[in-house]
Structure 1
Amino acid sequence: RGFNGTGIQDIARTAGIPKGSVYNHFENKEALAGEVLDRYAASRRLGMLADENLAPVPRLRAHFEYLAADLEHFSYERGCMFGNFGAELSNQTDLMRGKVDAGLSAWTDAVTQVLEEAREAGALTSVLTPGRLGQFLVD
């Protein structure tokens, strides 16, 4: 139902806790959503893109295979939280707009770095810049 279609009562009921318990930890639903997005960002495992134990192309492939497996694990019933929150809230809340932007920027930067390494190693021969390709892959 998205952010706007879900209330704190719905969240508390699903978690099996009293509604007031949510407010013991979060000032409002936006603050809760911000924490959820932070945890989602951490779950994207951007660190694996910096693992120099793998060559750049296998490293990039492993990252996207991890993300694909995550989608499969949830039976393709949920999308990217950055995209979902960005589409629904980008014109409603500065906090969420900033968190979505920061998350997508960090991800794009990490992918771009791997692509730059691949170019330096001779494994990327595209005429497109690593920055352009990084944005495309994240999009």
Structure 2
Amino acid sequence: MARASLKEQLVTRSAPVFLERGFNAASVNDIVQAAGVPKGSFYNHFVSKEELAIEVLRRYVDDLGLDELADPAGSAIQQLREHLMANITAREAAGIEFGCLLGNFSTDTVALNEGLREAVALGFARWTEAVASAIGRAQAAGEIRNATDADTLARYIVASFEGAIAQAKTLRADGPIADFLSVTFNRVLT
């Protein structure tokens, strides 16, 4: 098996550092130590920590499973449920106490780093659009009777998901996530 490139090592191994420490607290030294590469290698591949964080965030959003929400086959509401459950499972596997990279970066960096703020906004927009697409298909198929437009429902669901993850992170309990799922699928998306 071929060894990952140094750039790939930096991207892959810095993601947990950013998740656990946040953008501001994660130093380049922390990142190169986690990646097992010399500090000079960092600057051969990235101009700044912000540039690396934007790439990490882009991949994080790519890994959210948004394409699955666009699959016209099957139940759109079931796809949405499975999508949210998969993302909850991923957050739990990474350590719920560390939250979600999108949510963490949105509170950690937006006032100081315009490039990262734009990347976070794009990540939320991509996620919201995918959720809106699934909701629209579910409404058209009669799986959701709620007549609120799909874009509004999608923004509400993504914001509620992030809020539940933030509360679970703070409380170190899964009650907020259970409440989110219950209200979303038993009240909002009915």
Q: TM-score, normalised by structure 1?
A: 0.94
Q: Percent identity?
A: 37
Amino acid paired to 2:116 = M
1:93 to 113, 126, 130: 113
The 5-angstrom pairing of residues 16-55 of structure 1 reads 16-55=36-75
Cα distance in structure 1, aligned partners of 2:25 and 2:37: 19
Describe the superposition over 1:102-139 as per-residue Cα deviations: whole angstroms up to 9, x where unpaired: 11011101101111111111111114222111011111
Worse-matched range after superposition: 70-79 or 7-16? 70-79
Residue 108 of structure 1 aligns with which residue? 128
Q: Which has the higher contact order (CA 8 A, sep 6+)?
A: 1
Residue 118 of structure 1 aligns with which residue? 138
The 5-angstrom pairing of residues 3-18 of structure 1 reads 3-18=23-38
Q: Is 2:98 aligned against 1:78?
A: yes
Amino acid paired to 2:145 = T
Cα distance in structure 1, aligned partners of 2:93 and 2:24: 25
Amino acid paired to 2:43 = Y
SS at match of 1:3: helix
Shift of 1:10: 1.1
Shift of 1:9: 0.8
Shift of 1:69: 1.3
What's the Cα RMSD here? 1.1
Amino acid paired to 2:88 = A
Cα distance in structure 2, aligned partners of 1:14 and 1:21: 13
Cα distance in structure 1, aligned partners of 2:148 and 2:99: 28
SS at match of 2:55: helix
Amino acid paired to 2:136 = E
Q: Which runs of 5+ in 2 are unaligned?
A: 1-20, 160-190
Amino acid paired to 2:115 = L
Q: TM-score, normalised by structure 2?
A: 0.70
Cα distance in structure 1, aligned partners of 2:44 and 2:97: 30
